[in-house]
Amino acid sequence: MTAIPDLKAQKYDRQLRLWAASGQAALENANVCLLNATTTGTEILKNLILPGIGSFSIADNAIVNQKDVSSNFFLDTSCIGKSKSLATVEYLRELNEDVKGHHDERSPEYLIVEEPSFFDQFTMVIATSLSDTLALKLANICEATKTPLFLVKCIGFTGMFRIQAGENTIIETHPENSSDLRLDMPFPTLLDYVKEFDFDKMDSSEHGHVPFVVVLQHYLQVWKSKHDGKLPSSYSERNEFKELLKKGMRSYDEENFEEAISHVWRLASTSGVPSELQSILNDPSCENITKDSSNFWIIARAIRDFVQNEGSGLLPLPGKLPDMKADTKGYVRLQQIYRQKAIEDYEAINARVQGLLTSVELLSDAIDSREIEEFCKFASHVKVIRYRTLEQEYLTEPNTTAICQWLEESDPQNNIVHYVMFRAADLFVKEYGSLKDRDEEETVKLLEDCTTNVLTSVGIPNNKAVALTTDRLKPCIINFARYNGAELPNIASLMGGLVAQEVIKIITRQYIPVNNTCIYDGMSATTATYVL
């Protein structure tokens, strides 16, 4: 009898299908800080509170005015004159009774400059509409404590967010296809099982229910016997192999043979270690294991040692089979064969993990067996992202060559222009005050100067910076002057969804997050990501 799911499982049913109980637990243990209760900021929190973030705090010293009420869904006229952080927290808490909300009426600037230890309590910091000067200071605070930081800005029809999250290692990347059938390098028990099938003596019903993996392996052995033991490697050879499969069909609509033909493409890639994973296994963090090494790197080292020894150059088998046309008995037996091989590989790697833990004077069971098993399942798809710091981007190592190349591209929808404009707008406010205080013509002229200064600050020569400002960037300068620094509710809502999605990826360590900047252009309805 199927157990009735508890209330929490019913409430979060859809998202549990996305990131499972482990991801939900990480989300419920997270404590998120929002600096500035802007329209974008409250939209981000809305999309974190609904799926059940553990707790959140909003720090903002502003008082609610009529403009706030007209642009922020989580404020109404009764809030005018009240603390913005208090008012928004009260309304946001109504979205999910399981989530705890707190407010702080001190200014973000005060907290960053005078009380940096305030941020130690949080697992994630999100700052909206923060000046670049304060953003740099906050980024350094978060980098020191290894706290992930999101910097978000919205002006007019454009939005941008920047992630600084140190080293982010992801095991559960949720690839579209994680099955590894080992068609090119079948293991002994699989070959023994294939040999049990005598295709010539089967009746039509049995013939039509042979799993396609068995069909492929059977005919690959036939092919290899006629081609010096070689697999069909070229496009023409794979087409020839498809014809061999078609000749083996007893009727034109045998689904299992059709499935076998549709999976011939798998022979184009050989079993082994993908290049991106190989770079991870060759990483110094994988080579030099210490007691301070993360679980990810200890398991990665065990995987590397396994590949070089028991695995004979192959990764552990995931043991997952796709759906296929077969009778229940045949499918279950095949599933057991793959699963048993996966268990054997896991046990070998688990033993190596325990040995590594002991070698660095840690308890042999310090790493949960489920984490090792998950790594084995997704070994060929794990990911390591090392985020550049904001200080590197702005001061010590600006990505000059890439920025210049992106700006010179002919594509008019290249969103990198908005990155320059966000920085130019920030410099404008710092030097001249609000974008609203002047007429459009004067604002455009001053914004042009700020744009040229931003370009030169990232290492672009002055003559080229001037040329880019007066040509490539001029339409954007005019638009930003017209925006008057306004934050539009529809753009804020969309950015709230985008940012919340990436925040959840970082918190749960599932799916692959953006590295490191994402820019949205509402005029062209396009998003683009850049490593800045």
pLDDT in tens, 28-48: 999 999 999 999 999 999 999
Separation CA 454–CA 508 (nearest Å)? 36
Separation CA 258–CA 220 (nearest Å)? 15
Q: What is the mean pLDDT of residues 493-505?
A: 97
Q: What are phi and psi of 53, to 5 degrees?
A: -60, 150
Helices (H), 29-115: 39-49, 66-71, 84-93, 108-114
**Triad 85, 500, 428: Cα angle to 5°:** 65
| Structure tokens belonging to residue 243 | 């014809």
Between the two ends of the chain, the Cα-to-Cα distance in Å is 54
Q: What does the pLDDT read at residue 394?
A: 93
Least confident of 137-151, 407-421, 517-531: 407-421
Coil vs helix vs strand at 95: coil
Q: pLDDT band at 13, cuts 50/70/90?
A: confident
Neighbours of 391 (CB within 10 A): 15
Q: What does the pLDDT read at residue 2?
A: 47
Separation CA 271–CA 317 (nearest Å)? 10
Least confident of 18-22, 34-38, 142-146, 427-431: 18-22
Separation CA 26–CA 28 (nearest Å)? 6
Cβ 109 vs Cβ 17: under 8 Å: no
The DSSP bridge pattern shows strands 149-155 and 124-128 to be parallel
Domains of the chain, CATH where assigned: 7-167+489-530 (3.40.50.720), 188-268 (no CATH), 275-386 (no CATH), 390-483 (no CATH)
For the stretch 510-527, pLDDT in tens is: 999 999 999 999 999 999
Cβ 282 vs Cβ 290: under 8 Å: no
Q: pLDDT band at 484, cuts 50/70/90?
A: confident
Tally of CA atoms within 13 A in the half-sphere of 272 that contains its CB = 9
Cβ within 8 Å of residue 77, ≥6 positions away: 69
Q: Is the pLDDT of residue 202 over 60?
A: yes
Separation CA 59–CA 36 (nearest Å)? 6
Cβ 47 vs Cβ 496: under 8 Å: yes
Separation CA 399–CA 402 (nearest Å)? 6
For the stretch 418-441, pLDDT in tens is: 999 999 999 999 998 888 778 888
| Structure tokens belonging to residue 189 | 């028990």
If we measure between CA atoms, which residue out of 36, 254, 22, 18 comes closest to residue 128? 36
Separation CA 35–CA 57 (nearest Å)? 9
State how far the alpha carbon of 457 is from the alpha carbons of 302, 324, 409, in Å.
45, 58, 20
| Structure tokens belonging to residue 45 | 């929190």
Q: Is the pLDDT of residue 17 over 90?
A: no
For the stretch 64-82, pLDDT in tens is: 999 899 889 999 999 999 9
393: exposed, middle or buried (Cβ count in 10 Å: 0-12, 13-18, 19+):
buried
Separation CA 60–CA 156 (nearest Å)? 22
Q: What is the mean pLDDT of residues 41-64?
A: 96
Residue whose entry in the numeric block shows the structure tokens 């306004």: 486
Coil vs helix vs strand at 57: strand
Q: What does the pLDDT read at residue 233?
A: 85
Neighbours of 332 (CB within 10 A): 11
Q: Is the pLDDT of residue 411 over 80?
A: no
Q: Which amino acid is at 391?
A: E
Q: Is the pLDDT of residue 1 over 50?
A: no
Percent of the chain with pLDDT over 90: 75
Q: pLDDT band at 240, cuts 50/70/90?
A: very high
Q: What is the mean pLDDT of residues 240-261?
A: 90
Q: Is the pLDDT of residue 472 over 70?
A: yes
Residues shown for the chain: 532
Least confident of 409-413, 420-424, 474-478: 409-413
For the stretch 313-350, pLDDT in tens is: 999 999 888 889 888 999 999 999 999 999 999 999 99
| Structure tokens belonging to residue 201 | 């003596």
Cβ 302 vs Cβ 349: under 8 Å: yes
Q: Is the peptide bond before 516 cis (omega within 30 degrees of 0)?
A: yes
If we measure between CA atoms, which residue out of 399, 457, 404 comes closest to residue 426? 457
Residue 468 Ramachandran class (φ > 0 left, ψ -120 to 50 alpha, else beta): alpha
DSSP-assigned beta bridge partners for residue 369? none
Average pLDDT, the chain: 92
